[in-house]
Structure 1
Amino acid sequence: MATGTVRISRVDTSSFGWTVLVQVIEVDRVKIGRDRDLSRSFRRFEFGDFQGIKVSVVVFDDNVAIVDGRLLPFWKYYVSNAELREIPELVGTGLYSFYWVINEGTVIEEAAGSGELALPFYFELHSFQYFHFVADTNIFINVMGVVIHALPPRDVYFEGSRRYGRDHIIVDQC
């Protein structure tokens, strides 16, 4: 499927028969959205291409099973025929003004060993020395460290439900 690939930025509502090489950057868990008496299950992803352009991707209801266990973080895939929807002006856009909806017509093929260009690193990492700037705030940062000890598993409560959790001790320098 490598022939005829285009960049994310080239895919818009006038595009037909497009294929994009993407890397999965983020994978959310399956969530349930409710609007009055209606409820929908959905799962959100974030893809990126070798130019650093990102696109939000969503899968709804029965189509969640299509991608279950298939789209793995940091893996590369060829994606074509996703439905394009314009991001509302109220939300604001980055470099790309559409989001994709994966449905039964979307083709997803693993690009392992394709020999394509390496995709850029998408995470802005901060040193542990940066922690005091975000202490006692709701700001999230990305850090990279080595786990030196994993504490025993325990039950934690998150969003009103009991989950399995574990704390880790990490270091950034030895």
Structure 2
Amino acid sequence: MATGPVRISRVDKSSIDWTVLVQVIETDRVKIARDGDLSRSFHRFQFGDFQGIKVSTVVFDDAVIIVDGLLLPFRKYYISNAEVHEIPELVGTGLYSFYWVINEGTITEESAASEELALPFYFELRSFQYFHFMADTDTLIS
């Protein structure tokens, strides 16, 4: 593991030898993208830190096997030295304008739950009384 943890917001393309304590907020299933005869498998995650900053993360091809069964929802991990890429302007960004790619050089280590502060609650809860406003929209209600 690299030197002491920093916040997600402090990690950018010029960061070297960084470590962040994150909580897995969402994990998707492994998907396969096809382009003609070529195919590429990928697995998406969303992480968050104790400040409420979120980062989208993706794992491609052979590295999918490395994280299979490792990054579980609601658990905390130290992530070190993932590739950092800027989110294209067309996509739009939230508070953090980068995404991470986990590869063979990325270090992931589960955090002992008792030694760290609790991370914020990430669910966006809505009252049932407002669901009718979203009924005829493309907004996902889960």
TM-score by length of 2: 0.93
Do 1:47 and 1:55's aligned partners in 2 also have CA atoms closer than 8 Å?
A: yes
Identify the residue that residue 138 of structure 1 maps to in structure 2.
Answer: 138
- Return 5+ residue gaps in structure 2 as ranges: none
User: Once the 2 structures are TM-superposed, how far is the Cα of residue 141 of structure 1 from its aligned partner?
Assistant: 3.0
Give the distance between the partners of 1:123 and 1:90, measured in 2 at CA: 26
The alignment of Structure 1 onto Structure 2 pairs a total of residues equal to 142
Task: Return closer, same or farther for 1:2/1:21 CA change in 2, 3 Å cut-off.
Answer: farther
Identify the residue that residue 47 of structure 1 maps to in structure 2.
Answer: 47
| Paired letter, 2:10 | R
Do 2:27 and 2:73's aligned partners in 1 also have CA atoms closer than 8 Å?
A: yes
Identify the residue that residue 73 of structure 1 maps to in structure 2.
Answer: 73
Give the distance between the partners of 2:70 and 2:89, measured in 1 at CA: 32
Do 1:126 and 1:141's aligned partners in 2 also have CA atoms closer than 8 Å?
A: no
Q: Return the index of the structure with the highest Cα Rg.
A: 1
Give the distance between the partners of 1:17 and 1:51, measured in 2 at CA: 21
User: Once the 2 structures are TM-superposed, how far is the Cα of residue 128 of structure 1 from its aligned partner?
Assistant: 2.2
Identify the residue that residue 91 of structure 1 maps to in structure 2.
Answer: 91
User: Once the 2 structures are TM-superposed, how far is the Cα of residue 122 of structure 1 from its aligned partner?
Assistant: 1.0
| Paired letter, 1:44 | R
- Return 5+ residue gaps in structure 1 as ranges: 143-174
Written as runs of structure 1 = structure 2, the 5 A alignment for 1:11-30 is 11-30=11-30
User: Once the 2 structures are TM-superposed, how far is the Cα of residue 63 of structure 1 from its aligned partner?
Assistant: 0.6
RMSD: 1.6
User: Once the 2 structures are TM-superposed, how far is the Cα of residue 125 of structure 1 from its aligned partner?
Assistant: 0.4
Percent identity among equivalent residues?
80
| Paired letter, 2:122 | Y
User: Once the 2 structures are TM-superposed, how far is the Cα of residue 32 of structure 1 from its aligned partner?
Assistant: 0.7
Do 1:26 and 1:47's aligned partners in 2 also have CA atoms closer than 8 Å?
A: yes
Extract structure 1 runs of 4+ deviating beyond 3 A.
Answer: none
Give the distance between the partners of 1:102 and 1:73, measured in 2 at CA: 16
Give the distance between the partners of 2:56 and 2:3, measured in 1 at CA: 24
Task: Return closer, same or farther for 1:53/1:63 CA change in 2, 3 Å cut-off.
Answer: same
Q: Which gives a bigger RCO, structure 1 or 2 (Cα 8 Å, sep 6+)?
A: 2
The answer to whether residue 106 in structure 2 is matched with residue 101 in structure 1 is: no
Give the distance between the partners of 1:124 and 1:113, measured in 2 at CA: 23
Q: Give secondary structure in 2 for the equivalent of 1:40.
A: strand
Give the distance between the partners of 2:136 and 2:98, measured in 1 at CA: 35
Give the distance between the partners of 2:24 and 2:113, measured in 1 at CA: 16
Task: Return closer, same or farther for 1:32/1:99 CA change in 2, 3 Å cut-off.
Answer: same
